[in-house]
Structure 1
Amino acid sequence: MTFSSSSGGLQQLSLSFSDLLRLHVVLGTAMWTAAFWLEHDVAKRFANLRKDRTGKVVSTKHTVPSGGMFELVSSPHYFAEIMIYTSLTVVLGCFNLTWFFAVLWTYVNQIAIALLTHQWYQTKFKEYPASRRAVIPFLL
């Protein structure tokens, strides 16, 4: 399998079956899988915020999400997005200037919007958990 990318010149990345067993590919794939699961879990929790036990929408008001990664951060979906791009970088195992800027943009964008979301939750809900971080558990 061959992938090509153009950023000032043609670069090629070839993958064989033995490459799939390399540590960075295994770790990156595991990280991507965890991030994919996290995004799915967060989407389900968001969808259920306004529903009753039967699945019927009963409210359109904003509420504080809870459970899962919401116990640690305000925006676990943005954390998952950061994890996805990081995991793809790990799998690629190489430096590519185009990819670097795509990942950098993702980090800056997701962290900035998570900080704004966190601030909104804090001002909107007086009972918002003080220990909850914005996007990166225990750090930011």
Structure 2
Amino acid sequence: MTRPGSLFLPQQDDPGDDASKVRLALAVLDAFTAAFNARDIAGMDAQLHFPHVILSGEQLVLWETPGQLPPHFFDDLARETGWHHSAWHAREPVLVGPRKVHFAVTWSRNRTDGSIVTLHHNLWIATEEAGRWGIKQRSY
């Protein structure tokens, strides 16, 4: 932060209309989920901005760089929970700014037969940085 007064002011150069920003941000959420379901950790990381912020309950987790998930993450998830794939149920843009979109999301972890293992209601924030949209923060 260079100036204290600029901390709570959004950038004024608005690079497009809200619908375009939402569409671009949703494409990132779709790509992240496709990579997640393909068990592609590098593909997931490619959809994130770093540092990446995760608020899990009241615990703050900061990933400074890609590669934070262990290679056995998906095997462990499947073995421990029965997870086969994740699916979106809702993604509602609740705040659109000049270079970010906040989404209230509902998604599930599902078994092979499609039955739900867990259902989640979260807040995800996608940002546009250096000309690229990515997921900056996830709150669980």
Q: TM-score, normalised by structure 1?
A: 0.26
- Bigger CA radius of gyration: 1
Q: Considering fraction of residues, name the structure with more strand.
A: 2
Q: Considering fraction of residues, name the structure with more helix.
A: 1
